[in-house]
Amino acid sequence: MAKVLILGAGISGHTAALIARRKLGKNHVVEVISPNSNYQWVPSNIWVGMGLMTPDQVKFELAPVYKRAGIGYKQAMAISLHPDGDQTTDRAYVKIRYVVGELKDKEENVEYDYLINATGPKLNFAATEGLGPEKYSDSVCTYQHATHAWENLQKCFKKMEAGEKQKILIGTGHPLATCQGAAFEYSLNIAFEINKRKLNHMAELTWISNEYELGDFGMGGAYVKRGGYITPTKIFAESIFKEYNINWIVGAGVNKVEKGIVHYETLDGEFHSKEFDFAMLIPSFAGAGMKAYNKQDEDITSDLFVPNGMMKVDADYTPKAYEEWDAADWPSNYKSPLYDNVYAAGIAFAPPHPMSKPMKSKNGTQINPTPPRTGMPSGVIGRIVAENIVEKIKTGTKEHRHIASMSKMGAACIVSAGYGIRHGQAAVMTVYPIVPDWKKYPKWGRDIDYTVGEIGLAGHWMKLFMHYMFLYKAKALPLWWVIPE
């Protein structure tokens, strides 16, 4: 009997758990440790933040699904990894701490044969003074944050309807934040709603971001085919913002938020402030902050994790100049270089370097997006990690037949830009590969036949369809496995 332990029940970990359970015989154990009792389809939190969906429409309880599927589940946080066991046991284990109920705060050691770290991002609001829903800005990163954001945004709409002008600021809240796509989507939805309510004259909507130019999206921008022409995403994004009446500030590293005012430094070394009535700013992301110890109980955290807490995998982490970055630096099987039975999937793995060119202000502050890992690659990585582990358990192989490098994988990103069956809109972008490969595609960095951008009503339908389809799959309802990630 082998035990596969999965830390995190998000897009990556939940996918891995369902696949491992389906492909492993019942005499093997699959168990998930996750602190939130719910699964949430994070991309639809944008609609929660607009009052267009309720939290219940984007989440469901994990326990009944895991019970039905035969997956063990503990509502707890992983605190530390002990991949060699300790002085009392040779078995690898993870120390967990329960977060609710009678067991709250109780610690326990959970043994494993194979471990998947899929703990996603720690939303690091603390890295920017005054940032986050507990301080002065909002977030849509969780359904709880999005609910709070909608409460505050409604107040703005009411004030505008009463004739009071409002300043709305959307973007990134740290010089190295990622996930620009989510903020971009939220800004378009707000603009759509302002327009629908005929409040354009009452609203000043501004985008603030650490991208050096619009449309970078943390992936170094892209050239996309649009209506038969090849367009840089800079132009694509600028034309959408113009159409939606959104101003923009780029190359901006937000360093402090106070009540109604955000402070930032720009790449030219200047320091500025911007007033706001509502601000939704994405924080920087870090790893979950787990420690690791060897058999002698010595701290080996820095052997397994990079300094921000994300886990080292089969990437090339040798520090290199931007000009030497190679698509081949990116990992493909997500195994820890130190342990053959430890993997990291989704946002939990440490990328070898950003995709956007590193930039420093004249004062030496680094201001550039760190690499995004969106839902599709997170799900695909969760799947291939589970498939490789299943094969290892079943056949004893050491090979990884299933690989998924972000430099060989495409992704589709649908950015809703207004809600409604007849009047909704969405910008659809597909990129192939996600990580640009200038050696293979010297002209455009990506395969221009598969790197496409369009905006229209059909995109909105696709986004809505994906919401229901992916929640169906996550609930492990009949034939869930035929739905791709």
Ligand X SMILES: Cc1cc2nc3c(=O)[nH]c(=O)nc-3n(C[C@H](O)[C@H](O)[C@H](O)COP(=O)(O)OP(=O)(O)OC[C@H]3O[C@@H](n4cnc5c(N)ncnc54)[C@H](O)[C@@H]3O)c2cc1C
Q: 154 and 42 in contact (C-beta within 8 Å)?
A: no
Longest dimension (CA), the chain: 70
Tell me if 474 contacts ligand X by CB under 6 A. no
End-to-end alpha-carbon separation of the chain, Å?
A: 29
Tell me if 46 contacts ligand X by CB under 6 A. yes
Q: Which of residues 176-195 bind ligand X (CB under 6 A)?
A: 179, 182
**Which of 2, 4, 5, 7 is close enough to bind ligand X by CB under 6 A?**
7
Tell me if 311 contacts ligand X by CB under 6 A. no
- Which one, 143 or 359, has the nearer CB to ligand X? 143
| Contacts of residue 290, Cβ cutoff 8 Å, sequence gap at least 6 | 7, 78, 79, 80, 81, 117, 119, 301, 305, 309
- Shortest gap between Cβ of 36 and ligand X (angstroms)? 4
Q: 230 and 444 in contact (C-beta within 8 Å)?
A: yes
**Which of 53, 115, 250, 376 is close enough to bind ligand X by CB under 6 A?**
376
Q: 5 and 115 in contact (C-beta within 8 Å)?
A: yes
- Which one, 179 or 246, has the nearer CB to ligand X? 179
Q: Which of residues 98-137 bind ligand X (CB under 6 A)?
A: 118-121
Tell me if 13 contacts ligand X by CB under 6 A. yes
- Which one, 136 or 217, has the nearer CB to ligand X? 217
Q: 270 and 251 in contact (C-beta within 8 Å)?
A: no
Q: 94 and 112 in contact (C-beta within 8 Å)?
A: yes
- Cβ-count burial 76-89 (b if 16+ within 10 Å, e if not): bbbebbbbbbbeee
Tell me if 140 contacts ligand X by CB under 6 A. yes
- Cα-flanking dihedrals φ and ψ of residue 166, to 5°? -130, 140
Tell me if 72 contacts ligand X by CB under 6 A. no
Q: Which amino acid is residue 393, in one-letter code?
A: I
- Which one, 9 or 355, has the nearer CB to ligand X? 9
**Nearest position to ligand X, beta carbon:** 10
Give residue 295's region: left, alpha or beta (phi > 0; psi -120 to 50).
alpha
- Which one, 119 or 233, has the nearer CB to ligand X? 119
- Shortest gap between Cβ of 243 and ligand X (angstroms)? 20
How far are the Cα atoms of 48, 414, 421 from residue 461, in angstroms, in the given order? Answer: 17, 10, 7
Tell me if 34 contacts ligand X by CB under 6 A. yes
- Shortest gap between Cβ of 362 and ligand X (angstroms)? 32
| Contacts of residue 258, Cβ cutoff 8 Å, sequence gap at least 6 | 130, 136
- Shortest gap between Cβ of 184 and ligand X (angstroms)? 10
Tell me if 355 contacts ligand X by CB under 6 A. no
Q: Is 68 helix (H, G, I), strand (E, B) or coil?
A: helix
**Which of 24, 30, 77, 429 is close enough to bind ligand X by CB under 6 A?**
77
For residue 5, list its beta bridge partners. Answer: 31, 115
- Which one, 267 or 446, has the nearer CB to ligand X? 446
Cα–Cα distance measured from residue 234 to residue 415, given in angstroms and rounded to the nearest whole number: 16
Tell me if 378 contacts ligand X by CB under 6 A. yes
- Shortest gap between Cβ of 102 and ligand X (angstroms)? 20
Q: Judged by CB under 6 A, which stretch of 255-263, 325-333, 372-380, 387-395 contacts ligand X? A: 372-380
Place of tokens 């005499």: 27
**Which of 18, 19, 42, 219 is close enough to bind ligand X by CB under 6 A?**
42
- Which one, 160 or 188, has the nearer CB to ligand X? 188
- Which one, 352 or 382, has the nearer CB to ligand X? 382
- Shortest gap between Cβ of 70 and ligand X (angstroms)? 20
Number of chain positions touching ligand X (CB under 6 A): 36
- Shortest gap between Cβ of 78 and ligand X (angstroms)? 4
- Which one, 266 or 377, has the nearer CB to ligand X? 377
Residue closest to 444 by CA, chosen among 214, 218, 225: 225
Q: 425 and 192 in contact (C-beta within 8 Å)?
A: yes
- Which one, 118 or 393, has the nearer CB to ligand X? 118
Residue closest to 383 by CA, chosen among 329, 327, 338, 334: 334
Tell me if 413 contacts ligand X by CB under 6 A. yes
- Is the alpha carbon torsion for 339, 345, 347, 350 positive or negative? positive
**Per-residue contact flags (x/-) with ligand X for residues 263 to 292, judged by CB under 6 A:** -------------------------x-x--
- Which one, 209 or 266, has the nearer CB to ligand X? 209
- Cβ-count burial 135-153 (b if 16+ within 10 Å, e if not): ebbbbbbbbbbbbbbbebb
**Which of 4, 78, 176, 434 is close enough to bind ligand X by CB under 6 A?**
78
Residues that bind ligand X (CB under 6 A): 7-13, 33-36, 42-43, 45-46, 77-78, 118-121, 140-141, 179, 182, 288, 290, 346-348, 373-376, 378, 413
